[in-house]
Amino acid sequence: MRTDRAEPILPSRDLEETRQFYRRLGFEAWWDGKAPWDYEIVSRGNLVMHFFLESGLAPGANETSCYWRVADAGRLHAELSALQLPVSGIPRLTAPIDQPWGMHEFTIVDPSGNLLRVGHQTPPPGQEDVQALHAIRERLQAGENAFDGDALVDMMTDDFVLMVPNEPVQVGKAQCEAFVRRILAEQQAWFDRRIVYVSEEVAIRGNTSFDRGMFSFTVVVKHDGSTSGVTGKYLWLYGRSGDSDWKMSRAILSLDDPPESGDGC
């Protein structure tokens, strides 16, 4: 059990009532009424709360509160909703909302009037989209290194355009798919290879976005073990419709110039 944490101490008008309520929420009572004093502790995982008896407590006048920071407030709310607690009055369970201070929150009020705020931090606006584009890049890189054409084709839009060095421009998903599968099959037959993409900028503009960065490409010839490598730049453009997933609409890659020999030629 974690020891470096705060554990709130809240009032209870009736400890047995409190125990029964929190058991419904999935908590375990430590003393279960057998403490040598009017006190109870309940816990659910790393959520721990203490209660002391205050028999004259008026729930409607209770201003005590605490905060539960959880991994997924929406999932916990969905679980607790099965208890069919009222949405108003005491006790109650309110619906989760996104707060302007960057938390996804709901509240519980227990039978003694203690207010429990429950929430998790939400990403800054657009951050989920940025993370989605990073995930696409990782899948694309893994697919290329595994010679897996499906991983590359799945992220293409129907009007996808591919521009790579020393090859004709490929237009449309069907043409790009045939090109990608052919190139990967040829490379797999002759080389062991590894490509690494490093993003330098990701930007979101409504339903369009781009990922710009650099790549390094290393190949080992299978029949003699000779090694070579190149570096270059990439620009990937994405689009989506409504709440659909991001798809790549354009991919442009260029190779860096080889270093000068320094002999003046």
pLDDT computed for residue 251 by the predictor: 97
Predicted model pTM? 0.55
- Is residue 260 situated within a structural domain? no
Same domain (yes/no): 195, 243? yes
* Cβ within 8 Å of residue 149, ≥6 positions away: 143, 177, 180, 181, 184
pLDDT computed for residue 179 by the predictor: 97
pLDDT computed for residue 122 by the predictor: 86
Domain housing 53: 9-121
pLDDT computed for residue 128 by the predictor: 84
- Is residue 1 situated within a structural domain? no
pLDDT by residue, tens only, the chain of 265 residues:
556 889 999 999 999 999 999 999 999 999 998 888 999 999 999 999 999 999 999 999 999 999 999 999 999 999 999 999 999 999 999 999 999 888 999 999 999 999 999 999 987 767 888 999 999 999 999 999 999 999 999 999 999 999 999 999 999 999 999 999 999 999 999 999 899 999 999 999 889 999 999 999 999 999 898 999 999 999 999 999 877 899 999 999 999 987 665 555 4
pLDDT computed for residue 190 by the predictor: 92
**CA 76 to chain CA mean position, Å:** 17
pLDDT computed for residue 36 by the predictor: 85
Let me know how long the chain is: 265
- Is residue 2 situated within a structural domain? no
pLDDT computed for residue 126 by the predictor: 74
Q: Alpha-carbon distance 117 to 67, whole Å?
A: 5
Pairing mode, if any, of strands 115-121 and 65-69? parallel
CATH of the domain at 110: 3.10.180.10
**Domain end position, chosen among 96, 121, 146:** 121
Report which secondary-structure segment, H or E, holds 187: helix 173-190
**Domain end position, chosen among 69, 96, 121:** 121
- Is residue 263 situated within a structural domain? no
pLDDT computed for residue 261 by the predictor: 59
Looking at the structure of the chain, the number of domains it has is: 2
Sign of the dihedral defined by the CA atoms of residues 73, 74, 79, 82, in that order: positive
CATH of the domain at 200: 3.10.450.50
- Is residue 265 situated within a structural domain? no
Three-class SS of 171-185: ECHHHHHHHHHHHHH
pLDDT computed for residue 1 by the predictor: 53
**Domain end position, chosen among 121, 146, 164:** 121
Same domain (yes/no): 193, 224? yes
